[in-house]
Amino acid sequence: MARRKLVAGNWKMHGLAADLAEVVAVSNAARTAGCDVALCLPATLIERAVRAAPGFPIGGQDVHQADKGAHTGCVSAAMLLDAGASLTIVGHSERREAQGETDANVKAKAEAALLAGLDVILCIGESDAVREAGAAVPTVLAQLDASLPASVADPSRFSVAYEPIWAIGTGKVPSVGDIGEMHSALRGRLKAAYGEAGDAIRILYGGSVKASNAAEIFAVEDVDGALVGGASLNATDFLPIIQAAR
C-alpha cells in the first residue's frame, strides 16, 4: 500500500532560542514537501517553536505515562499538548540505555500519548553485538511485540522507527538489503498485531541518515520515512533529506 512518507527530526539535547530560525526554515520548506515533516525538540523549545512556525508539527522526545504526579524532571502528554506539541518519540535507544527504560515502560508511554491525542513514533533497534551474532531480526521483533500499544485507533498517528543502535550518530548504516529484511519483518508483525491497520502504519528508518544516503534508503520497500538526528539540526542538512522523500 502507498503510505505518505514521514521525515522527522530528533534534535536530542540540542537547541537554543537562536536555533528557532532553523525550525522556521524547515517549516517553510515543509509546506511544499510532498511528505509529512516534523521536528522533535527539547521540551524547553517546544512552545517557542510552535509560536515561530504555526501549524508545523513540533514534537517531544519522550513522555511520561502518568498524567501528572511526583515525577521530578518528567513531562506528561498533557504538558506536551499544552505547549503546542502534536507528537512525541517514545523508546529511543538513548533513553532505553541511559535511563533504563524497559519495553513495558515504552508501551505504557505510547498508550498514554496516543490516548491523550499525541501522534507517536516508537523506536526499536538492535545493538552491534546482537547484529554480529546474527540475531537482529528476532531481537527487534521481540522488542516490538513487547513495546506495541494494545490498540492503535488511527494508524496514520502511529509510526515505528527502526534504529539500529550501532548506526546512531556513527555514520554507519546497514545495507539496503538488511534494512529491507528488517522492515519487511516488522510489517508482518504489525499486520499480525493490528490486521489491516498494520499495513497503514509507517515504518521509519533511523541511524546516520544524510542527504547522501536518504534516496537509497527511501527506495527500500516498507521504508516509509526517516527519523533523523544530527542531520536535522539545521535546514541546510535536513532539507535535502526531505526532498529525497518526495
CB of 29 to ligand PGA, least distance (A): 19
Chain-centroid distance of CA 80 in Å reads: 16
| Residue 207 near ligand PGA by CB under 6 A | yes
Strands 36-40, 87-90: parallel, antiparallel or unpaired by DSSP? Answer: unpaired
| Residue 227 near ligand PGA by CB under 6 A | yes
Distance CA 20, CA 33 (A): 20
Identity of the residue, 58 or 231, whose beta carbon is nearer to ligand PGA in the bound complex: 231
Q: Are 125 and 140 in contact (CB under 8 A)?
A: yes
Catalytic one among 22, 64, 92, 111? 92
Identity of the residue, 15 or 194, whose beta carbon is nearer to ligand PGA in the bound complex: 15
Position among 63, 136, 168, 186 found at the interface with ligand PGA (CB under 6 A): 168
Cα–Cα nearest to 39, from 74, 7, 17: 7
Distance CA 244, CA 146 (A): 32
Q: Considering only 78-86, 112-120, 211-219, 227-235, which stretch makes contact with ligand PGA by CB under 6 A? A: 227-235
Position among 117, 138, 169, 188 found at the interface with ligand PGA (CB under 6 A): 169
Query: What b/e sequence results for 139-149 when a residue is b if at least 16 CB atoms lie within 10 Å of its CB, and e otherwise?
Result: bbbebbeebbb
| Residue 37 near ligand PGA by CB under 6 A | no
Is 92 labeled as catalytic in the residue annotation? yes
Residue linked to cell 511528505:
35
Catalytic one among 22, 94, 163, 183? 163
**Identity of residue 98:** A
Identity of the residue, 138 or 169, whose beta carbon is nearer to ligand PGA in the bound complex: 169
What is the set of active-site residues?
92, 163
Give the footprint of ligand PGA on this chain (CB under 6 A). Answer: 10, 163, 168-169, 206-209, 227-231
